[in-house]
Structure 1
Amino acid sequence: MEMSFQTGLNTVILFDGWKTHDWQGIVGSMIGITLMAAIYEGLKNYREHLYVSASLARLGDRKEPSLFSGVHILQTFLQMIQIVISYFLMLIFMTYNVWLCVAIVLGGAIGYWLFAWQRISTDITECCN
């Protein structure tokens, strides 16, 4: 199998049941993938918001962080969802279908635009988006 970008309409996306055969399938998939990438950015920024809020609350109350706090358990659950979505997006990108790759980039940009405009910190060490 060649590993080069292509613009074909016949693509299997993640599962055998998610296949495209025409422009309607590609456009519908692009919309779903764009939403998935935007949700990924939203989750990432929401987790950061939870972290900052919990850190400020601990500073005010002078409490030690707890492994079993509700906020930490929620952040852990959201991290699991974020990991799944990030690997799905990576695998979709690895179809090398130009239209689907554009949808991922566009969704990431839309998600960042919607959710990161009030971002408190900039983590320059963040990798693997």
Structure 2
Amino acid sequence: MHSMSFHYGVQETILFERWRTTDWQGIFGSSIGIILLGAIYEALKCYRDYLCVSTSFQCNSRNVSKKNDLFSIIHVLQTVLHALQIILGYFLMFIFMTYNVYLCIAVVTGMTIGYFLFSWQRSHNENECCA
């Protein structure tokens, strides 16, 4: 068990007992997977924003019936995607909380790559609806 300080070890348990690393290959492979998780997290955020803007679904003020909006397919899809985004976000946070420098770098790298790939259009949009 590691103390709550950053370390460079290669023996790590990541999220689940079955996801263990014991060598450099394991840390490297896990880091690649974590980078992908971070990119997927950013992609989900941007896709939810895209859905909000492209369907003219207003997340704050609405002119149509709130009951119709509550049970619309877009809102249900947004809710499911929001749940997935929360789960991924907590997974990434827990991975970072291993305090393993390599895994922390992988989390930040994945989210940075994801932002770079998916948020470039969003930077022109002042209204970050549903983000």
Report the alpha carbon displacement of residue 122 of structure 1 after superposing the two structures with TM. Answer: 6.0
Report the alpha carbon displacement of residue 51 of structure 1 after superposing the two structures with TM. Answer: 1.2
Listed one character per residue, the Cα deviations across residues 31-59 of structure 1 (whole Å, up to 9, x for unaligned) are: 000000000000001101111223369xx
Q: Give TM-score, length-normalised by structure 1.
A: 0.86
Report the alpha carbon displacement of residue 63 of structure 1 after superposing the two structures with TM. Answer: 3.9
Give unmatched runs, 5+ long, in structure 1.
none
Out of 101, 107, 122, which is 2:110 matched to? 107
Residue identity opposite 1:76 in structure 2? T
What does residue 3 of structure 1 align with?
4
Q: How does 1:32-111 map to 2 (within 5 A)?
A: 32-55=33-56, 63-65=64-66, 66-111=69-114
Report the alpha carbon displacement of residue 72 of structure 1 after superposing the two structures with TM. Answer: 0.5
Residue identity opposite 1:87 in structure 2? Y
Residue identity opposite 1:121 in structure 2? E
Identity of aligned residues (%): 55
Q: Give TM-score, length-normalised by structure 2.
A: 0.85
Give unmatched runs, 5+ long, in structure 2.
none
Residue identity opposite 1:27 in structure 2? F
Distance 1:17 1:109, change over 3 A: same
Q: Compute the RMSD of aligned alpha carbons.
A: 1.8
SS at match of 1:55: coil
SS at match of 2:70: coil
